[in-house]
C-alpha cells in the first residue's frame, strides 16, 4: 500500500524524513510535540518534530498555521510545488540567514575567474558523462547487449574530448551530444513494446518514461537545493548554466552529476520491475503525459525508500546523503582554494 509517508523509515532506523503533502485532502497539523499527517480526516502518521527535515507542499493539501510556525521555528524548509513537482516557492531557511555576504563574494570571485570556470564546468560535464557511461555499462553487462556497450563507448569518446577542451560553449555542446547518444539507449533498456520512447522530451513530457524522468528531476532539484542551502552556497550563480537565463544556476549545475546515477537509475529500475504501468499515466494536450495520483503516491514511497537506503553504488551512503556530502565537499574545496589564494 502506498501512502504519503515512507513507513519503512522507522524499521530502517533512519531518523530524518521528508513529509510529502501532494495528495488531495492531506493535512499536516501540530499536536503536542508531534506533527500529525492526516488524509481525508484519517491519521496517516504521527512524527516526532525533530525528525522532519523538509516538507513538500502541493496545491491540494494543507499545513495548519501553528504547524507552519513550528516548522519556521525549527528552520525546516517548506517547498511549494505544482502538479509536476516544480518549485513555486520556498519558506524557511532564508538564503540570507546562513549565507554571509563574504561567502557569496568568494563564490562570485571564484566563478568569475575564467580559468576556474572552465575547470569547474569541465569537471561537472565529466562527472555527468561518467554517470552516463556507468549506467550504460551496467545495463550492457546485465542485458549482454552490444549496442549498449557501443553507446557507452560513444559517450567515452565525448568524455575524452572534454578533457582537452577549454571553451565553455564547446563543453556545453559535448554534453548535449553525449546526452543524445545516452538517451538512444533507453528503448534497449526498457521494454519498448510496453513503453513509448522517442528520445528525451519535456515541457511537457510526451510519454510515461519522460514524465517519470521530469518528475524525478524536479525531486532531484529540491534535493540539490537543500544540499546547497546546507553547504551555505549561493544558489544564484553557477558556471555551466550561468549564461542561459536560468534562475538559480548553481542548482542546475550541481544536479548534473546525479541525474543519471540517481534519477535515471531509479526510474529505469522502477519501470523494469513493474513498479509502474502505462495505465498509471494520463495524457493532456497542455500538460502532456502525467502520473495519476495513485502512481504519484507510489513514486513518493519508492523514491523515499531509495533515497534513504545505503547502497554500494553511492560509496556505501544513501543517495540523499551521498548528494549532500558531495555538495559539502564541493563547497569546502571552493572556500579552501579561495582562502589559500587570499
Helix or strand (DSSP H, E) at 131: helix 114-143
**What is the separation, in whole angstroms, between the first and last Cα of the chain?**
56
Binding status of residue 65 toward its own copies by CB under 8 A = yes
Q: Is 338 in the site for its own copies (CB under 8 A)?
A: no
Q: Report in angstroms how near the CB of residue 336 gets to its own copies at its nearest.
A: 21
Establish whether 293 is an annotated binding residue: no
Give, as ranges, the residues between 184 and 243 that touch its own copies (CB under 8 A).
234-237, 242
Closest distance of CB 89 from its own copies, Å:
5
Asked if residue 73 binds its own copies (CB under 8 A), the reply is yes
Bond preceding residue 205 cis, omega within 30 of 0 = no
Number of residues that bind its own copies (CB under 8 A): 37
Question: Would you say 97 or 312 has its CB closer to its own copies?
Answer: 97
Minimum CB distance to its own copies, residue 26 (Å): 10
Among 3, 90, 130, 310, binds its own copies (CB under 8 A): 90
Supply the minimum distance, in Å, between the C-beta of residue 82 and its own copies: 8
**282 in Cβ contact with 223 (< 8 Å):** no
Is residue 299 a contact partner of residue 212, using CB atoms and an 8 Å limit? Answer: yes
Edge-to-edge, what's the strand order for the sheet holding 52-57? 17-21, 52-57, 77-81, 87-91
How near is the Cβ of 302 to its own copies at its closest, in Å?
25
For Cα atoms 246, 215, 95, give the angle at the middle one, nearest 5 degrees.
Answer: 45
Nearer Cβ to its own copies (248/280): 248
49 in contact with its own copies (CB under 8 A): no
Output the smallest distance, CB 4 to its own copies, in A: 15
Length of the chain as a residue count = 342
Spatial contact of 256 and 127, defined as CB atoms under 8 Å apart: yes
CA–CA gap between residue 196 and residue 297 (Å, rounded)? 23
Select from 62, 196, 293, 321 the one that contacts its own copies (CB under 8 A).
Answer: 62
Per-residue x/- mask for its own copies, residues 262 to 301, rule CB under 8 A?
----------------------------------------
CB closer to its own copies, 265 vs 290: 290
Q: Are 71 and 78 in contact (CB under 8 A)?
A: yes
Give CA–CA dist 334/119, Å, rounded.
12
Distance separating alpha carbons of residues 313 and 1, to the nearest angstrom = 28
The answer to whether the CB of 225 falls within 8 A of the CB of 255 is no
Taking CB under 8 A as the rule, does residue 94 contact its own copies?
yes
* Contacting residues for 134 by C-beta, under 8 A, at least 6 apart: 260, 261
| Pick from 122, 176, 188: nearest CA to 150 | 188
175 belongs to an annotated ligand binding site: yes
105 binds its own copies (CB under 8 A): yes
Between 111 and 158, name the residue whose CB sits nearer to its own copies: 111
Q: How far is the CB of 63 from its own copies (least distance, A)?
A: 8
Query: Whose Cβ is closer to its own copies: residue 104's or residue 275's?
Result: 104
Tell me how far apart the alpha carbons of residues 125 and 135 are, in angstroms, rounded to a whole number.
15
Quote the distance between the C-alpha of residue 103 and its chain's center.
25
Q: Binding to its own copies by residue 66, rule CB under 8 A?
A: yes
Binding-site annotation: residue ranges: 175, 241, 256
**Footprint of its own copies (CB under 8 A):** 57, 59-66, 68-69, 72-73, 80, 88-92, 94-97, 99-101, 104-105, 108, 112, 234-237, 242, 247-248
- Binding site per annotation, positions for Mn(2+): 175, 241, 256
Amino acid at each position: 500500500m502506498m501512502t504519503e509517508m515512507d513507513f519503512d523509515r522507522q524499521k530502517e532506523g533512519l531518523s530524518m524524513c521528508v513529509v510529502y503533502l501532494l495528495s488531495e485532502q492531506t493535512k499536516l497539523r501540530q499536536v503536542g510535540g508531534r506533527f500529525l499527517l492526516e488524509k481525508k480526516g484519517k491519521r496517516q502518521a504521527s512524527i516526532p518534530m525533530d525528525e522532519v527535515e523538509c516538507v513538500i507542499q502541493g496545491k491540494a493539501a494543507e499545513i495548519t498555521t501553528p504547524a507552519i510556525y513550528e516548522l519556521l521555528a525549527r528552520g525546516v524548509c517548506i517547498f511549494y510545488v505544482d502538479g509536476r513537482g516544480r518549485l513555486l516557492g520556498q519558506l524557511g531557511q532564508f538564503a540570507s540567514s546562513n549565507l554571509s555576504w563574504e561567502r557569496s563574494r568568494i563564490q562570485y570571485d571564484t566563478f568569475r575567474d575564467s580559468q576556474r570556470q572552465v575547470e569547474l564546468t569541465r569537471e561537472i560535464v565529466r562527472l555527468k558523462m561518467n554517470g552516463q557511461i556507468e549506467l550504460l555499462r551496467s545495463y550492457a553487462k546485465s542485458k549482454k547487449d552490444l549496442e549498449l556497450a557501443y553507446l557507452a563507448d560513444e559517450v567515452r569518446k565525448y568524455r575524452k574530448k572534454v578533457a582537452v577542451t577549454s571553451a565553455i560553449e564547446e563543453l556545453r555542446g559535448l554534453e548535449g551530444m553525449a546526452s543524445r547518444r545516452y538517451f538512444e539507449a533507453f528503448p534497449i533498456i526498457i521494454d519498448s513494446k510496453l513503453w513509448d520512447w522517442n528520445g528525451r522530451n519535456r515541457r511537457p513530457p510526451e510519454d510515461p518514461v519522460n514524465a517519470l524522468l521530469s518528475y524525478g528531476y524536479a525531486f532531484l532539484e529540491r534535493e540539490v537545493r537543500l544540499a546547497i542551502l546546507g553547504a551555505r552556497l549561493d544558489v544564484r550563480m553557477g558556471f555551466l548554466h550561468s549564461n542561459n537565463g536560468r534562475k538559480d544556476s548553481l542548482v542546475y549545475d550541481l544536479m548534473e552529476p546525479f541525474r543519471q546515477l540517481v534519477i535515471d537509475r531509479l526510474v529505469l529500475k522502477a519501470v523494469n520491475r513493474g513498479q509502474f504501468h502505462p495505465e498509471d499515466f494520463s495524457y493532456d494536450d497542455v500538460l502532456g503525459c502525467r502520473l495519476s495520483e495513485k502512481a504519484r503516491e507510489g513514486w513518493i514511497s519508492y523514491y523515499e525508500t531509495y533515497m534513504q537506503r545505503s547502497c554500494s553504488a553511492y560509496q556505501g551512503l544513501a543517495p540523499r546523503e551521498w548528494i549532500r556530502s558531495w555538495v559539502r565537499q564541493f563547497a569546502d574545496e571552493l572556500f579552501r582554494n579561495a582562502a589559500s589564494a587570499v
